[in-house]
Amino acid sequence: MSKLNTNSNVYTFIYSAVMVVIVAVLLAVVSQALAPKQQANILLDKQKQILGALKVDYSAGNPADIYMVLVNDTLTYGGASEHSEPIEVYVANLNGATKYILPLSGKGLWGGIGGYLALDEDKNTIYGVNFNHESETPGLGAKIVEPEFRSQFEGKHIRNAANEVVSVAVLKAGKHAEGQEQVDAISGATITSSGVSTMLEVNLAEYEEFLKVESNEGKEEDHVESEN
Amino acid sequence: MLSQKTKDTLLGPLNANNPVVVQILGICSALAVTVQLKPALVMGIAVTIIVAMSNVIVSLIRNTIPMRVRIIVQLVVVAALVTLVSEVLKAFAYDVAMQLSVYLGLIITNCILMGRLEAFAMTNNAWDSLLDGLGNGLGYAIILVIVAFVRELLGSGQLLGFQVIPQWCYDHGYENCGMMLMPAMALILVGCVIWVHRSLNDKEAK
């Protein structure tokens, strides 16, 4: 400590500069080297979540392979509203029935929430749904990813009797939604629950173009089967 | 095998010199991650690893660090380490990385790290610093686990996500304590732990 004057200004400046360069190079190299693997993981995670929304058990096989077999088309719609990015809808063929998967994204209490909504061919009945979140409170808001909450959505309809898209409301037990179907909110996680509700409403509005096409012939009951 | 000093360095923070209940460090993150046992365990392990590693690094370069910018240097070491660990986890253990998500970032601001770097690693050799880091990390983890155990058990009737309180208790009118899920209860529980800890240690002193 004594030979070199570690308290001089010159030393402090040089030390800081060298430290910053070393750390920057180190982080840049690691980030570059690991990027392909991270991208692959993110893609795989997305595929797993879509399979989750389709209620497909992928534990036995390779999720990526199962995904490739099931999801065989992507519909792209030019940015409606202010969204510059095109909106994508995935088309899956599940045991002969067509399912549409709509990616969702919104805001929870602490950070972003997202998910995938799988619709039946009538573009009305919810087949399954999967949610994810960045940083909701464990034991409260984070419960949106659990099957107990998600399974409530199955079989609900996103359209009202007049065939307008009205989404599904997430409401506290005891409250009643006018003109739309509802599921129970997670008690103690009011903001995350209403975040899910808002996310569904806002995102479904953005899928207007996709949902509109069918609205002329769409029926209340589920009709599946037919084409491949 | 271990000298008395080594033993004190490693085991002291587990009880007599516990970072949370005696040094009162790391309280903030103790509030955030103790609603359930699992994130508390994960956070405890992550902090232990990061404290130990950054302690060793800072201890190795301690003689070269300019005194006037030492806090910045320590912070850079910790931030670089946490970033590296999170990058590596995202590439090789994506599920774990997702579990940790926010907590990894929280580690950088955990006062235990800065506290130990400043109080110990700056003046001790690498081996002792490693032990000090491990000891303090584990001491922190123990408190987290105790608080999370109580909060998850009373707050959700579960432990590690499994239902422990049987259904017939609920049928007979038992209800989960919603208060336990609030951050304030973590503070109160930490207070209770400190109380118990103080009264036990006072007896030993007499």
Structure confidence by residue, pLDDT tens digits, A162-218: 888 888 888 887 788 778 888 888 887 889 999 999 999 888 888 877 887 544 444
Distance (Å, whole) CA B14 – CA A22: 35
Q: Which chain B residues contact residue A135 at CB under 8 A?
A: 101-102
Residue A224 is predicted with a pLDDT of 45
Testing the interface with B: which of A26, A29, A140, A187 to mutate, by most B Cβ within 10 A?
A140
Res B33 pLDDT > 60: yes
The parent domain of residue A172 ranges over 71-214
Q: Extract the tokens encoding B48.
A: 């232990």
CA nearest to A48 within chain B = B95
Residue B94 CA, distance from chain mean position: 22
Average pLDDT value for residue range B71-79: 90
Of B19, B81, B66, residue with least CA distance to A11: B66
Of B121, B119, B85, residue with least CA distance to B105: B85
Is A224 an interface residue toward B (CB < 8 Å)? no
The answer to whether the CB atoms of A16 and B102 lie below 8 A apart is no
Res B204 pLDDT > 90: no
Instruction: Nearest by CB to B68, from A1, A7, A34: name it.
Output: A7
Q: Is residue A39 part of a domain?
A: no
Residue A78 is predicted with a pLDDT of 65
Q: Which chain A residues contact residue B67 at CB under 8 A?
A: 6-7
Distance (Å, whole) CA B73 – CA B84: 16
Terminal-to-terminal C-alpha distance of chain B: 30
Distance (Å, whole) CA A42 – CA B139: 35
Q: Is residue A49 part of a domain?
A: no
Q: Extract the tokens encoding A6.
A: 């570690």
How many degrees, rounded to 5, is the angle at CA B163 between CA A118 and CA B43? 80
Residue A226 is predicted with a pLDDT of 44
Res B170 pLDDT > 90: no
Q: Is residue A171 part of a domain?
A: yes
Residue B2 is predicted with a pLDDT of 61
Distance (Å, whole) CA A64 – CA A206: 28
Q: Is residue A222 part of a domain?
A: no
| Mean pLDDT in order along chain A per 10 residues (228 residues) | 71 91 94 91 87 82 80 71 70 85 88 89 88 80 86 88 85 82 86 91 84 52 44
The C-alpha R_g of chain B, in whole angstroms, comes to 19
Structure confidence by residue, pLDDT tens digits, B101-151: 677 777 887 888 888 888 888 888 888 889 888 988 888 888 888 988 888
For chain B, the domain total comes to: 1
CA nearest to A6 within chain B = B66
pLDDT exceeding 70 applies to what percent of chain B?
A: 96
Q: Is residue B19 part of a domain?
A: no
Q: Is residue B69 part of a domain?
A: yes
Q: Is residue B140 part of a domain?
A: yes
Distance (Å, whole) CA A119 – CA B120: 58
Residue position matching structure tokens 């996680």: A189
Q: Is the ipTM of this complex over 0.85?
A: no
Testing the interface with B: which of A5, A7, A11, A34 to mutate, by most B Cβ within 10 A?
A34
Q: Is residue A38 part of a domain?
A: no
Distance (Å, whole) CA B88 – CA B73: 22
Higher-confidence residue: B76 or B170? B76
Q: Which chain A residues contact residue B98 at CB under 8 A?
A: 45
B69 pLDDT tier (thresholds 50, 70, 90) = confident
For chain A, the domain total comes to: 1
Q: Is residue A102 part of a domain?
A: yes
The answer to whether the CB atoms of B178 and A135 lie below 8 A apart is no
Structure confidence by residue, pLDDT tens digits, B43-67: 888 888 888 999 999 999 888 888 8
Higher-confidence residue: B205 or B31? B31
Distance (Å, whole) CA B178 – CA B163: 16
Strands (E), chain A: 71-77, 87-94, 97-107, 112-119, 126-133, 169-171, 182-184
Q: Is residue A75 part of a domain?
A: yes
How many degrees, rounded to 5, is the angle at CA B37 between CA B34 and CA B39? 70
The parent domain of residue B69 ranges over 28-205
Testing the interface with B: which of A113, A135, A143 to mutate, by most B Cβ within 10 A?
A135
Residues 158-197 of chain A whose Cβ lies under 8 A from any Cβ of chain B: 187-188
Q: Is residue B7 part of a domain?
A: no
